[in-house]
């Protein structure tokens, strides 16, 4: 069961504020680990970073994380910080399935194009 397992390593703004970052510093999983704010071990080493909005931030920082809470986004944008949302990992798909999915996408794209062409033809006639 995966229901109770965490999906992110959460870090609050108040923890980042107390860590002593200066204007223009980068806040990422690596920098937080180096400063000792987080200590991912075991399964946590593979988890992405999520910034939560508990607390205030008075410096402009460059954030790189997989996710931001809504309150954290508001507070960081108000403080003038830059937010970079890192892409998630692509789910592995068996090569034969990926090939079939590509064929299906191509097939349905042709169907949609033919249907839209027929629709425009019938409306103009």
Q: Please, what is the Cα angle at 102 between 96 and 107, to 5 degrees?
A: 125
The contacts of residue 30 (CB under 8 Å, 6+ apart) are none
CA distance 99 to 91: 15
Question: What is the second-level CATH architecture of the domain 9-85?
Answer: Ribosomal Protein L15; Chain: K; domain 2 (3.100)
Q: pLDDT tens per residue, the chain (125 residues)?
A: 467 888 999 999 999 999 989 999 999 999 999 999 999 888 888 899 999 999 998 899 999 999 999 999 999 999 999 999 999 888 877 888 888 888 999 999 999 998 888 887 777 65
- 92, with CB counted inside 10 A (0-12, 13-18, 19+), is exposed
Q: For the chain, which residues make up each domain, given as ranges?
A: 9-85, 91-125
The contacts of residue 64 (CB under 8 Å, 6+ apart) are 26, 27, 28, 29, 49, 84, 86
* The pLDDT value given to residue 98: 80
pTM of the model: 0.69
* The pLDDT value given to residue 69: 96
């Amino acid at each position: 069961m995966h229901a109770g397992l965490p999906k992110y390593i959460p870090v609050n703004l108040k923890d980042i504020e107390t860590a002593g970052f200066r204007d223009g510093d980068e806040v990422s999983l690596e920098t937080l680990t180096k400063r000792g704010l987080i200590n991912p071990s075991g399964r946590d080493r593979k988890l992405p970073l999520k910034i939560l909005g508990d607390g205030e931030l008075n410096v402009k920082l460059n954030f790189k994380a997989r996710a931001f809470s809504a309150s954290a986004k508001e507070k960081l944008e108000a403080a003038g910080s830059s937010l970079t949302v890192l892409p998630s990992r692509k789910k592995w798909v068996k090569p034969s399935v990926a090939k079939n999915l590509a064929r299906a996408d191509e097939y349905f794209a042709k169907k949609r194009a033919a249907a839209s062409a027929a629709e425009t033809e019938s409306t103009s006639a």
